[in-house]
Structure 1
């Protein structure tokens, strides 16, 4: 009764304004159009107890319901979501308690936001040190990996098998050593592996060696930050040293940083490498000649932590840099 009186009072008030009757008539037409929406009619079919009077009492909810449904049907993309609560839409349901019929609303997360949240979670599992973020943020597909360069099919097959075995059996003790010429897609393949295994719940880190080694010179004076960086590399499930052998290495980095990381990860977690050099050439790189025998021994020692804990993958193909 109070609601009817309020509506009548509102009608009287509108009628007294210049053009008030027309405004009221237009409001009635808009309300009737809204109640005739196929979406609203489907809602009434689902809940027969949902009378037009109840719908009229909940016009704001009904309007938002139909508007957001229309927005989602013509989705402009998550970044330009026009709904009140980005990435969500309104659903209505009906609840009857005794003679009281209530129209309830709830917010539902849309598929695009769910997909983004899933991708964000996957990417949060992967850390990069001086690697182009584009290499990690792009999407990958098995078809793209397989067909990008037919010359590297054997290498891709080895990589796919490794991913499958890890998903089935858990982390392996051995990693992979991807050796090949410049621009054959070694980093691309490693990022694909990180992405696929991040989807399975594994954490990973990829380190671009030339820049990492240069940055370590400044980290020498920041022991807290150095320890934090080294600890991440020790503990992550999958660690990739990208372009190893291209760095301007020094004994301290080799023995106290690389050595410490690899010594910790032995028999615990797999380590991966991409390089333009084979293992013998990498050993020469690690064996500095300025102190001859002593450095040769130290170079061999770190290679023992690499050579015996990797499967060799020869990556052939065309140079894709700059394409």
Structure 2
């Protein structure tokens, strides 16, 4: 931002710096912001303003910049997203004027949003779904066919806000494109505002990557531990993955075994629970293993509230 000294130097030649400063002083004293400052701090006088002319000029200029804010990325103030605030006190009979930088509302909102995002990690899920900001009223009325499921979700969010993490998670079942992933992202955003951490994983891509992690035990352990410990874990589109026994029994099984009765796990799926059990009971390598499928489902079925998400397919809808 241009300083008062730079401004005075840029004024037309032929006038002394004293005359220029005097005119600027008169303009500042007549500025409504300075008038309010003098009302708030009656001890301030023209002499104190003159001794702190540059501070007062910056205060007025930055306040005006904020009034006509062009956005944080184009903020013209010295310190992006901050403005100068003045205060005064009398020390040993001498009037002192102090300035400090204060964060504007837009900067505070962006910092808050970034803190919320830092609590959420996504694997193979479009970040746009996590960034979209909808109110509960909007998601409730967006598709009235899914209103019952949305109502259940909102009640779950309220319970968690009031009583803390629940042992029971949610299982969102329904056909393609009804908004199951979006509803889970909305829940993550709402609960991240309360300080909870969250991870959302798109299962088909995650399972494929796990196969390569077999050869990187350190990275595999780190990934599994993160999923065990996060407050909210969402397996998105579970049942659509190309399952193998190792992923089912040693990765997914280990994560679910740790989390049950500790922290809630959430799922979206095109399957209902019984159909998902059949999916887990068959792998291309070992064929049908009913007890293996049942074992996984014993770590899912008792620990979820089922939400049937009905409604129209919103994918590709304009």
Q: Same fold (TM over 0.5)?
A: yes
Q: Which residue of 2 aligns with 1:268?
A: 262
What is the Cα deviation at residue 22 of structure 1? 5.4
1:213 aligned residue: 207
2:149 equivalent in structure 1: 155
2:68 aligned with 1:106, yes or no? no
Paired positions, count: 306
1:30 paired with 2:24, answer yes
Moved more, 264-273 or 27-36: 27-36
- 1:99-138 per-position Cα deviation (integer Å, ceiling 9, x unaligned): 2111111111111111111111111111111110111122
Q: For residues 37-96 of structure 1, what are the alpha-carbon distances to aligned partners after superposition, in whole Å with 9 as ceiling and x for unaligned?
A: 111111111112211111111111000000011011111112211110111111111111
| Map of 1:49 onto structure 2 | 43
Match of 1:143 in 2: 137
Aligned to 1:87: 81
TM-score, normalised relative to structure 1: 0.91
1:163-182 aligned within 5 A: 163-182=157-176
Can you give the 5+ residue segments of structure 2 that lack an aligned partner in the other structure? 1-8
Q: Matched residue of 1:217: which SS?
A: helix
| 1:23 CA drift (Å) | 5.5
Q: Residues 237 and 21 from structure 1, CA distance in 2 versus in 1: closer, same or farther, beyond 3 angstroms?
A: closer
Give the equivalent residue in structure 1 for 2:125. 131
Bigger helix fraction = 1
Q: Which sits farther off after the overlay, 29-38 or 231-240?
A: 29-38
Q: Which residue number corresponds to residue 65 of structure 2? A: 71
- Matches of residues 225-304 of structure 1 in structure 2 within 5 Å? 225-288=219-282, 291=286, 295-304=289-298
Q: What secondary structure sits across from 1:113 in the alignment?
A: helix
Return 168-177 or 283-292, whichever deviates more: 283-292
Unpaired runs of 5+ residues, structure 1, are: 1-13
Q: After superposition, give the CA deviation of every residue in 1:228-265 in whole Å (9 maximum; x if it has no partner).
A: 11111100111100000001111110001000000000
Structure 1 residue 27, shift from structure 2 partner: 3.5
Which residue of structure 2 aligns with residue 200 of structure 1?
194
**Large movers: runs of 4+ above 4 Å:** none
Cα distance in 2 between the residues matched to 1:292 and 1:236: 33
The alignment yields a C-alpha RMSD, in angstroms, of 1.6
Give secondary structure in 2 for the equivalent of 1:274: strand
1:98 to partner: Cα distance? 2.3
Does the Cα contact within 8 Å between 2:169 and 2:305 map onto a contact in 1? yes
Q: 1:19 to 1:303 in 2, by over 3 A?
A: closer
